[in-house]
A and B are shown apart, each in its own frame.
Chain A
Amino acid sequence: MISLAGRDILHSWSKYVFTGVGLGLLIGVTLSMAGIYRGMVDDAQVLLRNSGADIWVVQQETLGPYAEPSSLRDDVYRSVLGLPGVADAANVTYLNMQIRHDERDVRVMAVGFEPGQPGEPPFLSAGRHIARNHYEVVADARTGFRLGERIRIRRQDHTVVGLTRRMVSSSGDPMVFLPLKDAQEAQFLKDNDAIVNERARTAANPALNRPGVPGLLDAIQASQTTSRSANAVLVRVASGWDSEQVAEGIRRWKHLEAFTRVQMEEILVSKLIETSARQIGTFLVILAIVSAAIVSFIIYTMTLGKIRELAVLKLIGTRNRTIAGMILQESLGLGLIGFVIGKTVATLWAPYFPKYVLLLPGDAIRGLVAVMLVCALASLVAIRAALKVDPATAIGG
């Protein structure tokens, strides 16, 4: 027995391919939508993975540093370092800001970190890591910055010494890594220079630097130095220790909030991007329904166009099974063509999205199964119409 579906497809292949391309673009949009959702989740996870931390220590009663603002004294890390099970602890700051570049503003998340400590970008795609503790930055390639370029962050010019990739905030802004002290200056305008300047200013003020009151100046300056802050302390847990156990110690003894990676992921994925994810999910469902409807219409129309041939086939004794199989195969074939084209275009256009689009092979397989299922369901209507064709119509009169 020859494959009637195969022969039909080969016969009207141009119609098939064009229909398949149209369907494929629709499937491509659907896959991209799923990719956008995956990308959002991945952005959140990348943020956590790239920070290299096991525990985030933040201001008490906050969900910082990503979901809520958090502010800590920047000497907190010293006391955290002293706790058992803590291998490394380092201050980090996070600040969303605009950086001017080539006549336009680039929205970035400026990350202040201590070189060699948690919070450092884990890999580079060009250049080198920061070697000076001032005025150098490593930027995500998506910012559009080039190696050696000088960018201005608040008051200081910084040189781009390294480029990295996939370093984005939970909202998808590319990251710019700069030394902690520069970042503190940018965020609080109270870096070391500011402190030293402030001291000189205080000392020059006769009201505060009175000849008759020794010790007053020292007291005032000591009080001014306490305004230095960081947003979080990243903790790396020593091997052999349980993150939750160490975090519990920090919560109990340091009176700070401490989140393990699992909890942080929960915060980011379920709290921060929940609404957007639901938005995309709803759209995805609608898109899937629309795709299914379109597939059924296409298959149905194609079947109606073959009514006479079907009548002849039935008249000369073709079985219902054969005819149903033919329509089902054509439907599945159309779905397959559409899926291949959809997956291809989704892969090709994914890099041009402003935010990360992650196309997982697992999603592609799920998509394939869904497309096949939808096509099979869609062909049911067409099969029903085909089986109702009266073979008598082939005989004139």
Chain B
Amino acid sequence: MATPAIEVAGLRKRYGEGEAAVDALKGVDMIIHPGEVVGLIGPSGSGKSTLLKCLGAVIEPSAGRMALAGQTIFDERWKIRDLRALRRDSIGFVFQAPYLIPFLDVTDNVALLPMLAGKPNHEARRQAMELLEALDVGHRAKASPSELSGGEQQRVAIARALVNRPPVILADEPTAPLDSERALNVIRILNRMAGQYQTAIIVVTHDEKIIPTFQRLYHIRDGRTFEEAGEGRSA
């Protein structure tokens, strides 16, 4: 088997100290391979968001180990100094709302990441354009984010997450504001992209409509994960 895109073992996160301490994560274990689209479901307060923030290198776990594309990034402490570069180059984010930058047009919203990574403008824009075409929003490349429909915005957001070819994409309820048809469409796109770019995608959701579409599911409850084989096929 190939190197997992993401490998998490015994990850814990404790907020606060002493008496008031709360254990949000009590031991999370995950292994996700490139090209996989995995669902992460659980009730509110189960630690979904905390796990996502840890995986996104936004907050620091208290214990455990995380590896990204075979590289250990956390083992009781951060193994990498530049977390921003890590987020920029190795992790894509898709949010519940698209969170596009309002003052940049669609192309530059996507091209911003390669630009931040130091690519020349035209190269960054070419990459962005390529992805936008692949996601069927190429014709809106010059538009301002506010001029797009919700679905189009979400597709641009996916393009942005993909543009630096990260090994893993974290999607936080990407289908919440969409109706079921569009939601399924987004999942289809994610599946397609995961296949096309060999990216592992973790989709946090409690959208009943799409849960059946995942190949694998991780349930999270009381800060612990339980893996479950999904019934769906990639669409």
Say yes or no for A97: interface residue by CB 8 A criterion.
no
Choose among A8, A314, A395 the residue that contacts B103 (Cβ–Cβ < 8 A): A8
Chain A positions within 8 Å of B104 at CB level: 2, 4, 7, 11
Binds B, one of A45-53, A132-140, A156-164, A316-324: A316-324
Contact of A395 among B56, B101, B115 (CB under 8 A): B56
**A397 B48 Cβ-Cβ under 8 A:** yes
CB-nearest residue of chain B to A12: B103
B73 → chain A closest CB, angstroms: 14
> Nearest residue in B to A322 (C-beta to C-beta)?
B116
Q: For the complex, is B80 an interface residue (Cβ under 8 Å from A)?
A: no
* CB within 8 Å of B: which A307-365 residues: 308-309, 312-319, 322
Contact of A10 among B84, B89, B103, B160 (CB under 8 A): B103
Contact with B along A280-313 (1 / 0, CB 8 A): 0000000000000000000000000000110011
Provide the bound-state CA to CA distance between A322 and B116, in Å: 9
Contact B103 A7 (CB under 8 A): yes
The answer to whether B172 touches A317 (Cβ under 8 A) is no
Chain B residues positioned under 8 Å from A312 (CB to CB): 95, 99, 101
Question: Does B26 sit at the interface, judged by CB under 8 A?
Answer: no
Beta-carbon contact of B108 and A395 below 8 Å = no
Contact with A along B96-107 (1 / 0, CB 8 A): 100101111000
Smallest beta-carbon distance A333→chain B, Å: 13
B207 to chain A, nearest CB (A): 14
Does B30 touch A at the CB level, under 8 Å?
no
Known: A396-B96, A396-B173. A316 touches B112 (CB 8 A): yes
**A2-B108, A7-B104, A316-B113 given as contacts; is B53 within 8 A of A395 (CB)?**
yes
B14 interface residue (CB < 8 Å to A):
no
B34-67 at interface with A (beta carbon < 8 Å): 48-50, 52-53, 56, 58-59
Choose from B48, B53, B96, B173 the contact partner of A392 (Cβ within 8 Å).
Answer: B53
| B33 contacts partner chain A, Cβ-Cβ < 8 Å | no
Instruction: Quote the shortest CB–CB distance from A215 to chain B (angstroms).
Output: 102
Known contacts A1-B115, A1-B121, A316-B88, A396 near B49 by CB under 8 Å: yes
Chain B residues with CB under 8 Å of chain A are: 48-50, 52-53, 56, 58-59, 84-89, 93, 95-96, 99, 101-104, 108, 112-113, 115-117, 121, 144, 160, 172-173
Complex A-B: 18 CB contacts under 8 Å:
A2-B108, A7-B103, A8-B103, A11-B102, A11-B144, A309-B99, A309-B101, A309-B103, A316-B87, A317-B84, A317-B116, A318-B116, A394-B95, A395-B53, A395-B95, A395-B172, A396-B96, A397-B48
Question: A interface vs B, CB < 8 Å?
Answer: 1-2, 4, 7-8, 10-12, 308-309, 312-319, 322, 390-392, 394-397
The 4 A-B residue pairs with the shortest CB-CB distance, nearest first, are A317-B88, A397-B49, A11-B103, A392-B58
